[in-house]
Amino acid sequence: MEVIKGIPVSPGLIIGRAFVLDDTVRFIPRRTVPVEGVPHQHERLADALGQAIADLERDRDRAASELGPEPAKIFEFHLGLMRDPTLIKHITTHIERDHVTAEYAVSEEFRKLTARFRAMGQEVFRQKANDLLDLDHRILSKLIGESEDRLARLTEPVVLVAHDITPTRAAMLDREKIIGIATDAGGRTSHASIMAGALGVPVVVGCQHLTEHVDDGDMVVIDGRTGVVIIRPDEQTLEQYRADIERMGTDRLALRELAPLEPVTLDGTRISLMGNIEFPYEIKEILANHGDGVGLYRTEFLYLTSKGEPTEEDHFQALKEAIELLGGKPLTIRTLDLGADKKTQQAAEEPERNPFLGLRSIRFCLQNLPMFKTQLRAILRASALGPVRVMFPLISTVMELHQAKMILSDVMEECRDEGIEYDAEMPVGAMVEVPSAALTASTLAREVSFFSIGTNDLIMYTLAVDRGNERVANLYSAAHPAVLHLVRAVVRAARRWNVETSLCGEIAGEVEYTMLLIGMGLRILSLVPSQIPQVKRVIRSVDMKQCERLARKVGSFESERQVLNHLREEVRKVLPELG
């Protein structure tokens, strides 16, 4: 039995069989196979080599026809190595002797050969080493592609174990077959983690070297509450976790009974609880938990789940589905937050070195106007079907907000000229996700109908901590006094200008923060739909004086540790069962 600690992303507890996905050629963990599985690994290797050789021959022939015979000779070296019986013998021997997977044997043998070429010192040999890396990539991509096919052909529920989960992968996972997720890499509030959490299964990320210790079919426990992953648990541990699962089922029943009740404090202040969603189907859970609507609709899934760029009709149909499911409750749409995602960077001619500080979100949209206008046209068309609000992400200057509103106005004019119905009074808001926006909230407030404080990015940009980096995850904290100061500043500026303000970061669904957020003046929280009943339970157990007193007390603290300890103490006083 092995216990590995990671970062909890999505709560819950599951026991299941592991499905290990090799999703990057740069990281191939060492995994063994049973003796009877060795022949299958040899077959996989032979198939991958055959496919890679066929690809190389096609590339050689194309180079010969388009560029001439000399450039085509480059591929002859590659083909010679691919057919080299000595190299292939080393790989097959590795599989036979150590009972390892074909991809691990390929990776190791090419690594050794590359190291020998580089050790020769001369430039010509260093260049050959790069050629070897290309061949390694070609063969591994064939083997890993087979792993992708296996994922698509799942016939029973599994726990997905991978080095990392991209937003694209997360968006395409089968909700009926994936019952838990654990990864080596990732941070708590990375976009990929949020999308994985939207599946409603336990998710733990940042487990460092998990994939090196898990084999396909291993029994694993994923504890999304504490961030613990247990590999091959013993019977005593299994019994303990089965009992925990049973107790959690009882707690869920109690929360289900609470769901229809209003989120009102003991002294009568109503707090609106909205849902953050990635996909329209999540609206069903918002309604089941009696949420007030959608406070954040992330629309990137259309780009992440399709090979081409979605059309206006694709956008419209997704929005129409969401509006119909909501049945009159409001839908708050965040325009595209693209640019920092892996798929966009891969498509770029020159990928950015630091995309989170580069051309992302509203900046990306303002430089890709046809794409931006396509989405805005779909949003306007959808606004005729029900209550829709639109908000622009990652606003850092009032100029960006002016430009975005001007483009929206242009699209409105086009729709009007074409006779397309839309809501001319559709509320327009801005997301406050960077310190510059928080510090100039009074200026921005004069330009919008509402604010939505996105604490996931606000924490990252305030503390200079990559929210997707497991190595600095301990530094990423919403309880940092600087972050709380900025949130408080936005709420005060919004109140001064009578601008509605919500908070849609992950902390909106964490019960430790509920009293603080209410005490700071927030009356709208947007959170993961499954967390609505838990937050509602806290709201119904406190009064405003308690919350405001807590907020004042926390405002005097100098460290996030002090803040967190005090928040946990206070919530345990209100709800001892959470302790």
Could you list the active site residues?
191, 504
Tokens of 554: 């926390």
Looking at residue 556, the DSSP 8-state letter turns out to be T
* Burial of 159 from C-beta contacts in 10 A (0-12 / 13-18 / 19+): buried
Beta bridge partners of 277: 297
| DSSP run (H or E) holding 55 | helix 38-67
d(CA 363, CA 393): 9
Do 262 and 271 touch, CB atoms closer than 8 A?
Answer: no
Residue carrying the six token digits 């599994």:
158
Residues 6+ apart with CB under 8 A from 315: 299, 302, 374, 375, 378, 379
234's tokens: 């013993």
Helix, strand, coil fractions of the chain, as percent rounded to 5: 55, 15, 30
Distance (Å, whole) CA 483 – CA 550: 16
- Rounded to whole angstroms, the Cα distance separating 183 from 203 reads 8
Sign, Cα dihedral of 458, 464, 465, 466:
positive
Contact 220, 157 (CB under 8 A): no
Within 10 Å of residue 552's Cβ, how many Cβ atoms? Answer: 11
According to DSSP, the residues that pair with 16 across neighbouring strands are: 220
Residue 549 three-state SS: helix
- Please return the burial class of 200, using the count of CB atoms within 10 Å of its CB with bins 0-12, 13-18 and 19+: middle
How far does the chain reach from its first CA to its final CA, in angstroms? 28
If you count DSSP H runs as helices and E runs as strands, how many of each does the chain have, helices first?
24, 16
Of 246, 266, 248, 264, which is closest to residue 256 (Cα–Cα)?
Answer: 248
Q: Pick from 324, 267, 271, 262: which is nearest to 289 by CA?
A: 262
Helices (H), 73-181: 74-82, 85-98, 102-119, 123-152, 167-172
Classify residue 264 by its DSSP letter: B
Q: Do the Cβ atoms of 456 and 510 come closer than 8 Å?
A: no
